[in-house]
Structures are given as C-alpha cells and as structure tokens.
Amino acid sequence: MANGFDLLPVEVLLMILSELPLPSLIAFGATSRRNFACHVLCMRRLHLGVFQKRIHATLAFLGKNSKAHCAPVILQPRYTRNNNKETESNDSPPSTPTTRSPSPPTTPTKRGHERLPPMSPGRDLLPCPPLESTIHAQNDVLARVLRRYGRSLIDLRFMAYDLAVHGANALVNFCGPKLQHLALCFEHPYVRTDTLTHTYWLRPAPTSAAWSALIRAGIPGKSMGGLCNLRSLTLERAGISAWQLRILVRQNRSLKVLKLRTCGAVQPSFVNWLGGLDRAMDERGEKRFDDIDTVPGRNLEVLWLENCDGISTLDPRDVTMSEDGMLDIGLNWVKNLKSLRSLSFYQCRNIDSALVARANEKIWRIPHLILPQHSPTESDIDQIEVDDDMD
C-alpha cells in the first residue's frame, strides 16, 4: 500500500526534502529505493568537515549560516574484541600515507549501497595518529561521500587538514562540470594536537601533487579536464602552486569569486597573469594568447587575497604624495580587473594600507575594499606572555 510520499510529485517531494536537516534526510533515503534516489538528488549543497575531535568540528561550523547541509564527521579508531574488552586495532601500519581510514569499515546495505560513516559527532580519537594518516583518512571520507552525492552537488565546502590525491580524484570524477561553488578550507588555528606545532597553521601548506590531479595536469588528453564550470572558488592554506592555480582559474572561465587565504601560490607571476600583464605567453610558455587584450581575471567580481606575503607594494618612503602613477606599483594588475566589486588584502604584511587606500581613491575605485592589517607572526606568538596566576 502506497504511503503519502509515494503519491506526491517528485518536484514537491524534493522541495520538502530540501528543508530537512541532514540526519533526517539520510534516514529518509534509507526507507526505499525511490526515497534513496530522491534524497541523493536533494543533496545539492554540502559543507563537510572531517576532524578528530568533536570540539574542532563544532568550531569549524560556527557562523556557517547557509542553506547547505552541514555534515561534521569525527574520525574514529577501529576496535576489536579482546578478552571482552575493546582495544584499538593495529592491523595496518599507521605511519604510512597509504594507511586505510581509521573510521569504521563500510558495510553493504540490503540494497547493495555502501554505508557511509555517521555524519554526527562521535567519540574523539586518542591518541592522535601521524599527520599523513589523518589527512589520508579525511580524504577517504570525502571520496566515499562524493561517490554517493557528488553527481548532484553544486556547492561543496570541505574542511580538513589537507587535500590528498584520492580526494582530488573524487572531486573530478564524481562532481566534475556540475560543481559551481567549491571551498577547500585547510586552515584551522583552533586545532591543537600532539602532531601539530603551534605555528603549523600560520604557514602556507607545501605544494602537493594532489592539485595536479585536481586540474588533470600531466594526463594525456585530459590536461584541461576536471572542474570547468566553477563560479566561486575558495582556497585556505592550500598547497597549490602558482602554475597550478593559473590552470585552475583559466579552465573555469565563469569564475566570479576567488578567495585565497594563506596560499603560497599568490605570487607576482600569478597576479600579473590574472591582471593581463603577463599575456605574451601562456602558462606553458609556448603560445601567445589569441586576443592581446585578454585579461584572465576580467570576469572576477570578488577577489580576496588574505594572509599572503608573496605580493608587496613599494616602501612608503619611496613614494611621494604627488606620484599618483607610482601608487600601485606592485599592484598595478588590479586596474585591469574592471569587474571587481570587492577586493581584500587583509593580513597581507607586505602591502601598505595607506598606499592601497590612496591607489583605490585615485585609480581603482573599487566599491568594497578591505585594507591590510597586521596579523601575528611566529615571533609574535613566541613572545606572548601568560599569567600563571589567572584562573
């Protein structure tokens, strides 16, 4: 006998499901084949955070007021029964990057679908595994989630420690051209574990081959494949190189929003290319642009470059108030981004606030401008004094 949901048109059912919280939506999908297909189609926007402690996941989702489904996943160790007591399983070497995820193993359901780890706070993982194993386990969760929901997603935010190759491959294979909004957030200053130093989050991540997998670089016939319809891209503490970032931006010609924070790829070679100053050669140095007036960032409306020390302005002592033409030296690529409505240099220590403000007044005239501000350095943190008598 059909229930009330079976009598509803699919369009109406999807509207109802889009208002459900994530646990209820997943529970609904487990009731029947039709409901499973409907709940997958309804997963359009997903914010996925994978951490080792409940408090870290809670902090990561603070202030995320959006219509996206928020899914905190807590990594859990495997447990085996030993003399009627639970002990942590050590059946695989934890120190190698190829270690399997410490989250519970997947089990097939009655309909043959892979069971995902619970998207709710779980038991904290103690003691902490090596950093490489944690990153591998986090990307295991990402790959498993995208295998089920990737083809319906248009908006994805992934919060973890870093991107691995198999996580990047999952983004390309299961999301592909349908994904329009992507945020990869790997900067979490509130995370404190025994495997991380106190300055770990202040430095850009080292370059990684995972970003080549994301842009399909080096694969014959697929060098310009992968994600190609992004409208917004946010990268926080991403180990992407300037060359890889140029490829990623160029193959997403509809990009309107670009937010980069603590990224070593923000170098003069990238921003000059973005503003069309380096348009004589393409990113491989082999061919010229077809249109000499082409500016790769001409469609950008929002550009945020935050906590990036690779770009700088002139020393204020070298510029007099009458030299308006010299104000944007080092940032003269900005004036070619004609569509910009918002620009941020927040926490860029090598950019002078007074010069940026004057350049915007005289040259750029961007409506929303966030000036650079001082951010703590490693030496600043080392000099912080703590009163032991404070309660």
pLDDT of the residue at 301 = 97
| Rounded Cα distance, 6 and 2, in Å | 6
HEC profile of the chain: CCCCHHHCCHHHHHHHHCCCCHHHHHHHHCCCHHHHHHHHHHCCEEEEEEECCHHHHHHHCCCCCCCCEEEEEECCCCEEEECCEEEECCCCCCCCCCCCCCCCCCCECCCCCECCCCCCCCCCCCCCCCHHHHHHHHHHHHHHHHHHHHHHCCEEEEECCCCCHHHHHHHHHHHHHHCCEEEEECCCCCCCCCCCCCCHHHCCCCCCCHHHHHHCCCCCCCCCCCCCCCCEEEEECCCCCHHHHHHHHHCCCCCCEEEEECCCCCCHHHHHHHCCCCCCCCCCCCCCCCCCCCCCCCCCCEEEEECCCCCCCCCHHHCCCCCHHHCCCCCCCHHHCCCCCEEECCCCCCCCHHHHHHHHHHHHCCCEEECCCCCCCHHHHHCCCCCCCCC
Please answer whether residues 217 and 172 qualify as being in contact, where contact means their C-beta atoms are separated by less than 8 angstroms. Answer: no
Q: Tell me, what amino acid is at 117? A: P
pTM: 0.76
Q: Tell me the pLDDT of the chain (391 aa) as tens digits.
A: 345 666 667 667 667 766 667 677 677 777 777 777 777 777 888 999 999 888 888 888 886 656 677 878 888 654 333 444 443 443 333 333 333 334 444 445 555 445 555 554 444 444 556 889 999 999 999 999 999 999 889 999 999 999 999 999 999 999 989 999 999 999 999 888 877 887 888 889 999 899 999 988 645 444 444 789 999 999 999 999 999 999 999 999 999 999 999 999 999 999 999 999 876 444 444 444 444 458 999 999 999 999 999 999 865 555 554 455 566 778 999 999 999 999 999 999 999 998 899 999 999 999 999 999 754 444 444 444 444 454 4
Q: 112 Cβ partners below 8 Å, 6+ apart?
A: none
C-alpha to C-alpha distances, 154 to 15, 83, 176, 230, nearest whole angstrom: 16, 48, 10, 9
Tell me the Ramachandran region of residue 242: left when phi exceeds 0, alpha when psi lies from -120 to 50, beta otherwise: alpha
The pLDDT, as a whole number, for residue 325 is 56
Residue 202's pLDDT is: 86
Q: Nearest-CA neighbor of 74 among 52, 100, 101?
A: 52
- Ramachandran angles phi, psi of 336, nearest 5°: -85, -10
pLDDT at 259: 98
Nearest partner of 200 among 348, 378, 4, judged by Cα? 378
What is the predicted pLDDT for the residue at 66?
Answer: 60
Question: 74 - beta bridge partners?
Answer: 51
Q: Token pair for residue 316?
A: 């204020």
Which residues lie closer than 8 Å to 300 by C-beta, 6 or more apart? 255, 256, 257, 258, 274, 337, 339, 340
Alpha-carbon distance of 240 to 208, in angstroms, equals: 7
Q: What is the CA radius of gyration of the chain?
A: 24
Dist CA 150 CA 142 (whole Å): 10
Which domains are seen in the chain, by residue range? 45-69+139-382 (3.80.10)
Burial 240-278 (b: 16+ CB within 10 A, else e): bbbbbbbbbbbbbeebbbbbbbbbbbbbbbbbbbbbbeb
Rounded to whole angstroms, how far apart are CA atoms 164 and 11?
A: 37
